[in-house]
Amino acid sequence: LTGFALDLGGTKTAAARFEQGKIITRHIMATEGMSNPAKLMARSLSLLKAVGFAPRDPLGIAVTGRIDHAGFWHAVNSKTLSRVSAIPLASLLKSTLLVQTPVINDAVAAVLGEYHYGAGEGCPALGFITISTGVGGAFLLDGSPIHSQNGLAGHCGFMSSCHADRECGSGRRATVESIASGTAIGHYAAEIDAEINSAQKAFDARSHGDMRFEGIIDRAARAIAVLCGDLAAILGLECVVIGGSVGLAPGFMERIIQHQADEPALFRPVIKPSRLQQDNVLYGALSHALGSPP
Ligand code: ADP
Ligand code: BMX
């Protein structure tokens, strides 16, 4: 892998330069979720330039949201990217980044990255779940990602959860994302203490012994364990790689595994932490653009 990659998530955007399979430079900035798509891409271009990108270099791009077969980009959770609805990606990239390159969903990029270079190597029925701004997912059967024309396939954060009761930014009620995402954890925590208004702060407080957030964090992990059981039932998953800043927060994955004890063995896919950590989306995006997994 040699070239550049961009990962536009709901909270942060990362750009990286790869040389021979390794990241040699990486820059990260906040994503402005309320910005229009042209501004999101203009900011992304300055990040790419900071890692040395020039328009003729190989580039892979992954974004949060769904991308349909006609190349339109849509937020599913409109609270994450409030102005991303039916955005024609080819013309957006041409006018802002001066490039034409394929764009894929961030979770799809991550599952490809983990399958070819990370924790999913050799698993024929592989899932990837990110617990981050949202709850994203993507799935590979015999090495091929599951896709649908509307780009929604794999979006397991919008499945329903018996632990949830509120509406989420997708308009659906009681979704996994509405109870287990970083955004949801932050909202629930702020109802207990207005200063603890993010998942990061809730986890920090919990790790310092503040038990007020224990129930919120544990409920999120339980919802993910049940989700893994549901996905095992429908896809026959044997392994699920966990990513995202919440998913990889100390102790969170262990909690998912503990809650799997409530499921019969067949519905307990092996849970593994991402091996590529925060870089899995970048690896998958570039390898997809180059069409060159090893
Ligand atoms: P993105 O969604 O842009 O890929 P992240 O994976 O960092 O970004 O997810 C962002 C969410 O993760 C936010 O809700 C944030 O509060 C939470 N978060 C960030 N760092 C931590 C941490 N160390 N522990 C727990 N939650 C975290
Ligand atoms: C949401 C959805 C997915 C995305 C997932 C993880 C939007 C804007 N995003 O479920 O497309 O894969 O979040 O993305 O609807 P992240 O923003 O948490 O990294």
Q: Which residues pair with 175 in a beta bridge?
A: 160
Q: What is the CA radius of gyration of the chain?
A: 18
Nearest alpha-carbon partner for 244 in 256, 229, 261:
256
How far is the centre of ligand 2, averaged over its atoms, from the C-alpha of 232 (Å)? 21
Q: Which protein residues touch ligand 2 with a CB less than 6 Å away?
A: 9-10, 64-66, 75-77, 80-81, 105-107, 130, 132-136, 155, 157, 177
**pLDDT values of the chain reduced to their tens digit, one per residue, 294 residues:** 999 999 999 999 999 999 999 999 999 999 999 999 999 999 999 999 999 999 899 999 999 999 999 999 999 999 999 999 999 999 999 999 888 899 999 999 999 999 999 999 999 899 999 999 999 999 999 889 999 999 999 999 999 999 899 999 999 999 999 999 999 999 999 999 999 999 999 999 999 999 999 999 999 999 999 999 999 999 999 999 999 999 999 999 999 999 999 999 999 999 999 999 999 999 999 999 999 665
Alpha-carbon distance values, 147 to 23, 27, 104, 239, 265 (Å): 28, 30, 11, 19, 28
pTM over 0.80: yes
Structure tokens at 93: 């990239």
Rounded distance, CA 152 to CA 57, Å?
30
- C-alpha of 45 from chain center: 21
Rounded distance, CA 123 to CA 102, Å?
26
Rounded distance, CA 257 to CA 18, Å?
34
ipTM for the complex? 0.99
